[in-house]
Structure 1
Amino acid sequence: MSGRVAKWLAWSLFGLFVALAVATPVLVAVRDGNASDALVATGIGFALVGALVASRQPTNAVGWLLLVAAVALGIDTLMSVYVSRATLPGAAWAGWLNSWLLFVWLYLPALFLALVFPTGRLLSRRWRAVVGIGVAGVAANIAGTAFAPGVLDIHADRPIRNPLGVSGLVGDAHSWLSGAGELLAAGTLVLGGLSVFLRLRRSHGRERQQVTWFAYICIVALVPFVVLALVGLVAGDNVPPSLDVVQVIAWWSLVVLLLLGLPSAIGIAILRHRLYDIDIVINRTLVYAALTLTLGTAYLGSVLLLQLVLDPLTQGSDLAVAMSTLAVAALFRPARRRIQLLVDRRFFRHKYDATRTLAAFGVQLRDELDVDALGNDLQAVVRDTVQPVHMSLWLRSPR
């Protein structure tokens, strides 16, 4: 495929997604559908980054994966709005599409991006078997859902039977097929994570920074996913109001990280815009996550402790809350400084050593009088902290 054809195809797919994203809320307003179905616009990150990557690097499979996933999301959401009125013409076929397109726009980036990111190629030919497992998992899920007899599992104002349902198969073959697809997809997902880990270990320089961006957003997205899993495990179907707030926050955090954070990280990595800021981003994430956890724990602990101490003297808890707030505010700066030093010492040792070296050189600079010795010390400091390929020191000659 030539560069001109690839660019035309990439931006045509992007235009198709934009048309679907515009048509969906219009159809929601006309048909009085569910407003949440108009959230197809959140996939604009996948479509835009996919078009940029595919038009600039046509041989990179990452861009085409993002574009196909975005267009499938747009079609799936439009069909879900259309089928909400089952009396419309072609509603059965729209519902049929809506029943299985989920496995295209969700599984494509989830299963295959990790295998080919960032170069668009697999680690080696042996990983083709993993791609085959993933394709088989997606195909099994689609076949098990698209040809299952009976009523479609979709949201509509009345039940809609599957127009392509195949009955008369031995036992519950469709359920077994879908279960096998889920198992194969789970195996591909695990192997994709292993591929990212191996690529991170083997890569150097620019590619290592690219993989670090991708791994960073995936690890951050695991936090709300684990929270949702724990809430579901603890509360089950009867979620109390306190945990319901946590569940909503975790759910929307996961949506934002996957639909906006993931394509942003991919775009930064492949298009190399502010690529080397990943170390700063990871550093800030570790510092402020630990700081939030520390201050939150200190606040809750102090509120409970002060309420126990002040309860005989005061009837309300306003004094305990006020004192705890002031204590946490006073603790913010020293806690952030200590946590920053701890993170630098544990995870960014090179930065920590460079800071100590510069501080020691500043002390030595006040006491050094010999220009030659000072020049040698300066070159040693630059060599240890900046690590340049070549270095020379120019001194102004005295008149």
Structure 2
Amino acid sequence: MEDRHGRTRLRTAATYALLGLALAQVTAGSWALATAGVPARDLFRYDMVIDLAVGFAYPVCGTVIALHRPRNPIGWLLVAYGLGHAFTGLSIGLAAEGLRAGWSPESLSALTTIGRHTWIAGASTAFVLMFFLFPDGRLPDRRLRWALLAQVVSMPVDLAIWGRDDWGLFHGTAAQPAYLPVPGGWMPVLREFETVKACLVLAAVFTVMCLRYRRGTEQDRRRLLWLIAGMMPLALSVLLQLFGFPPVYTSCCTLFLPVAIVIAVVRHELLDIRVVVSRSLLYGAMTVGLVAAYAGLVTFLQWLLDPRPELLGPAMVTVALALGFEPARRLLQRTVDRTLYGDRHDPVRAVSRIGERLAGTGIGAVPEAVGEALRLPYARVASKTGAGCGSWGVPDGPTHTVPLDYDGRTVGELVVGLRPGEQQPAPADLAVLELLAVPLAAALHATDLSRQLQHSRERIVAAREEERRRIRRDLHDGLGPTLAGAAFQADAVRNLLAFDQERAAGLLTELRAEIGGAVAEVRRLVDGLRPPDLDQLGLLGALRARAARLSWRADGTPLQIRVRAPDRLPALPAAVEVAAYRIATEALTNAARHARASRVDLRIEIGDGLCLEVCDDGTPVDEETPWRPGVGITSMQERAAELGGSCVAGRGRVKARLPLGGTA
């Protein structure tokens, strides 16, 4: 039965069994070499120590991955590659001991032949497949399967060619290994084929890494950087061979690779690998560039400055390199930093790219743009209104929050995840984030306004449809039957006029009453659409009439209501008149019903807009009961918001402001 990581007892037992087999081979090979008395010089010269070291390091690292990520084939590939080298080291040790002990030539040749080819099989399959499948065990593109198939199918060619690069240790002895038979004259063709195939495989591996880095998440990119960090010593050792260092250093440097792979697969968040890779790439490129430039310039100037090149050439080269070192370092530093840290050293460019994403797909795409621009593992934009605006990545470490302020108030926040190993953002990151906060706050404020506008439109449409439904229902249930009855009575009067005028006169009286009722129903419907007092008395007259009706409470106690306003109001838009009337009457009614007040002041002023304020001197019934706005307060606030105004209500005071422009 599998656990949540995919571990089973069988897989765990197989992992430990393979590790035990590799350690047993390394131990036996080391013992055999020590017993045979092989000189220390030959141990390094013929890569015996390297085979045993690889046979130990790779299985151990592969076991760690296989135990923590059993579904990931990377761990099993490391173990398989290490087993190939472990058996090669074992075969060398046993062959050396067999020569000393006098074993049969057949057994010695078979042992060295198999041992000679096991590490080649491991390198040709497991080692190459590991780069294609790193780090999750899947290809980034199914079209690259041809490269894996070509590598596996061509393994016999690898065995035939690499097997002939003999150690030289057992030449002329009974332990001389045999090779795969190849027809005469085919070896040059096979070597050309091997060269072409190796170039294609390297190109495919490079393509895989580029695809993963470009398409992958921030987590995948950090893992790839760990792999690159593990390969840097290997690349450096190859460079050293060009200057005459022995190839043994190349073999030793391969031991850094499995450690980097374990960290990448199991603990990639251990530290920010970008720092290591950026500095290594920078100074490695500077070193190579300086050496190449020095050698080229010395050669050129010695030819140019004949006959005294030994004096002028080196001096001029030194001056030229000194002048060009700092510009070259800055250029390389910017290139490396842009690759690993994005555009954080160019805040304008970073904000410009994020702004393009903001203008194209909206604020929901900003987190992804921030993460990609600064190579951050996590980013989230949140609005203070409670409506989430999106996130990108996984917050698997410390975070930093940047408040988004607009017009003196905080409208949201930008939360970014820090890179592994960082406890606070770098100054370059902070510069980009602070520069981004200004347009992002404006965009977030505009988004909130747009959302509020949409909600307001939806409420207006809903209210309009509800009002239409009410009018239709009133017309159908009230006015409609009344008019239909009047029509029937009119028909009856017409039929009775010829022979029963007295009866017809009675029906006309009833018809008159029916029509009067219909007129009253029409007036009721009209009054429901707009208060009739506004049309008859105007806003101030309607409010004074309402104040007079509320001057006495139901229990008979008086209530003094004073209306303070200009003597004459300018012509107001119809919507503003209705909203002001509804808000004022609701506030006056609340004061009369719920406040123990003796005086209520209603004040109206006209300036940039219509300002309306209702204050009373009452106190609540229970001082300890918290004040909570009810349905009436909410209705007043919604009426003001529909016109783009505001309404603030508290204990004993309601203040509303309604704009006058564009609402008529």
The Cα shift of 1:217 comes to 3.7
**Do residues 98 (structure 1) and 103 (structure 2) align?**
no
CA distance in 2, matches of 1:123, 1:76: 33
Alpha carbons 1:79, 1:98 under 8 Å: kept: yes
TM-score normalised to the size of structure 2? Answer: 0.41
Q: 1:145 to 1:288 in 2, by over 3 A?
A: closer
CA distance in 1, matches of 2:29, 2:10: 29
CA distance in 1, matches of 2:273, 2:132: 21
Aligned length: 333
Alpha carbons 2:230, 2:261 under 8 Å: kept: no
CA distance in 1, matches of 2:89, 2:193: 26
Q: Deviations over 1:220-248 (max 9, x none)?
A: 633432453xx4xxxxxxxxxxxxxx422
Greater relative contact order (Cα < 8 A, sep 6+): 1
RMSD: 4.8
Range that drifts further, 63-72 or 290-299:
290-299
Alpha carbons 2:62, 2:78 under 8 Å: kept: yes
CA distance in 2, matches of 1:352, 1:166: 57
Q: 1:212 to 1:174 in 2, by over 3 A?
A: same
CA distance in 1, matches of 2:167, 2:115: 9
Alpha carbons 1:111, 1:185 under 8 Å: kept: no
Range that drifts further, 76-85 or 49-58:
76-85
What's the counterpart of residue 156 of structure 1? 170
Range that drifts further, 106-115 or 285-294:
285-294
Alpha carbons 1:269, 1:275 under 8 Å: kept: no
The partner residue of 2:103 within 64, 72, 88 is 88
Amino acid corresponding to residue 188 of structure 1 in structure 2: V
Q: 1:374 to 1:120 in 2, by over 3 A?
A: same
The partner residue of 1:199 within 192, 212, 215 is 212
Alpha carbons 2:66, 2:72 under 8 Å: kept: yes
**Do residues 78 (structure 1) and 78 (structure 2) align?**
no
CA distance in 2, matches of 1:162, 1:297: 43
Range that drifts further, 119-128 or 35-44:
35-44
Alpha carbons 2:15, 2:63 under 8 Å: kept: yes
Alpha carbons 2:30, 2:52 under 8 Å: kept: no
**Do residues 269 (structure 1) and 264 (structure 2) align?**
yes
Match of 2:140, SS state, is: coil
CA distance in 2, matches of 1:247, 1:145: 22
Q: 1:285 to 1:145 in 2, by over 3 A?
A: closer
Match of 1:158, SS state, is: coil
Q: 1:299 to 1:157 in 2, by over 3 A?
A: closer
The Cα shift of 1:61 comes to 1.5
Match of 2:244, SS state, is: helix
The Cα shift of 1:275 comes to 4.9
What's the counterpart of residue 51 of structure 2? 40
Alpha carbons 2:19, 2:59 under 8 Å: kept: yes
Q: 1:173 to 1:88 in 2, by over 3 A?
A: farther
Alpha carbons 1:3, 1:55 under 8 Å: kept: no
Alpha carbons 1:72, 1:101 under 8 Å: kept: yes
Match of 2:251, SS state, is: helix
Alpha carbons 1:137, 1:183 under 8 Å: kept: no
Alpha carbons 1:141, 1:181 under 8 Å: kept: yes
The Cα shift of 1:115 comes to 0.9
Higher helix share: 1
What's the counterpart of residue 255 of structure 1? 251
TM-score normalised to the size of structure 1? Answer: 0.65
CA distance in 2, matches of 1:79, 1:165: 16
Alpha carbons 2:282, 2:332 under 8 Å: kept: yes
Match of 2:172, SS state, is: coil
The Cα shift of 1:81 comes to 2.6
Match of 2:272, SS state, is: helix
What's the counterpart of residue 22 of structure 2? 17
Amino acid corresponding to residue 347 of structure 1 in structure 2: V
Q: Deviations over 1:158-217 (max 9, x none)?
A: 3458898787x8645677667645643443233222222222222121012112222344
Alpha carbons 1:53, 1:63 under 8 Å: kept: yes
Q: 1:374 to 1:73 in 2, by over 3 A?
A: farther
Match of 1:247, SS state, is: coil
The partner residue of 1:222 within 217, 232, 235 is 235
What's the counterpart of residue 242 of structure 1? none
Unaligned runs of 5+ in 2: 1-5, 298-309, 313-317, 348-405, 415-428, 442-664
**Do residues 56 (structure 1) and 52 (structure 2) align?**
no
Unaligned runs of 5+ in 1: 232-245, 302-306, 310-323, 325-330, 355-371, 392-399
Alpha carbons 1:111, 1:189 under 8 Å: kept: no
Match of 1:106, SS state, is: helix
The Cα shift of 1:71 comes to 0.8
Range that drifts further, 84-93 or 170-179:
170-179
Range that drifts further, 212-221 or 29-38:
212-221
Q: Deviations over 1:6-33 (max 9, x none)?
A: 2221222222222222222211121123
What's the counterpart of residue 352 of structure 1? 345
Alpha carbons 1:136, 1:181 under 8 Å: kept: no
